[in-house]
Amino acid sequence: MFMRMTFTVAVAGASGYAGGEMLRLLAAHPQVAIGALTAATSAGTALGEHHPHIRSLADRMLEPTTTQGLAGHDVVVLALPHGTSGAIAAELEQTGCDPVIVDLGADHRLVDAADWQAYYGTEHAGTWTYGMPELAQVAGATQRERLASARRIAVPGCNVTAVTFALQPGVAASIVDTSDLVAVLAVGYSGAGKALKTHLLAAEALGSAAPYAVGGTHRHIPEIVQNLRAAGADDVAISFTPVLVPMSRGILATVTAPVGPEVTTAQVREVWRAAYADEPFVEVLPDDMWPTTAMVAGANTVAVQVAVDAKAGRLVAVVAIDNLVKGTAGAAVQSMNLALGLPETLGLVREGVAP
């Protein structure tokens, strides 16, 4: 079968953290040629002013984000603020071009328009193919099969990714009670974006841990529920609390759920290992090891460990991911590869960066 050697990719929102991480991965992708790089207020500046670590693209100038600049590429990546991708995607479609469009924002993740309106407060832009190849499905096509024919891809939220990987094997195997879930996540500051806000300044953040979106208000909650229902859950209720901690990138998620008295640590580890045995980027760690964010920094890896707290009658699942890689850009590249008919792992690494 003939396979194209190079696909052109444009990135809108290239000056932000998500756009920059996408470019870092694409710059090393053997079958990608990077096309237009666009931004809003940063248009007219060099990419190196915003991402000096991406040396091969440092002298590229950022253009204004227009449909004319994005049209004509094989792939368009939208690394834009929530609520803005829908309009640009609609304008691109009106030009007659049909690129694969990969949305790193939230606009097209949710199936239920009422959920979008409740958590985001605007009109729902529609639902695209969900960009998590490993998503468990109780019936129908696998998520990989859906992505292989996708032209519009919605990349998952980073916190959602961590919680989904923590729980979905137990949901699919019907050994956890999803009506009483508790998730507490330590999140690096890059997850809050690049906007200049007082609470994101180093003077405020260093030496401090700060919860946010407490009390069921975080916008990732309906997406978590949606994923667990896809894996087979009926009644899902989750207490979800993210905490900003003084690190630049990474998520460490600790998720607990009730289990029956007959369920043991050995049993749940067997279930999780079987569920992820063929996943190239997911590793259930050895019995005496627990995930850390340092394990996965810079990598597209998901590190997982599970145990049963018998006295509390609860499963404890801990997951570490890099929020910018597996939580955003890495998932986007995986999904893009599938949509283009390329090997899913192309351009992605499991090895992290240390120290």
Write out the catalytic residue numbers. Answer: 158
Pairing of strands 210-211, 238-244: antiparallel
Instruction: Give the CA count within 13 Å in the CB-facing half-sphere of 355.
Output: 0
Pairing of strands 75-78, 100-103: parallel
Residue 187 φ/ψ region, left for φ over 0, alpha for ψ in the -120 to 50 degree band, beta for the rest: beta
Annotate 282-293 with b (16+ C-beta within 10 A) or e (fewer): bbbbeeeebbeb
Contacts of 340 (CB under 8 A, 6+ apart): 4, 7, 31, 74, 75, 100
CA distance 214 to 224: 16
Type of residue at 247: M
CA distance 224 to 300: 20
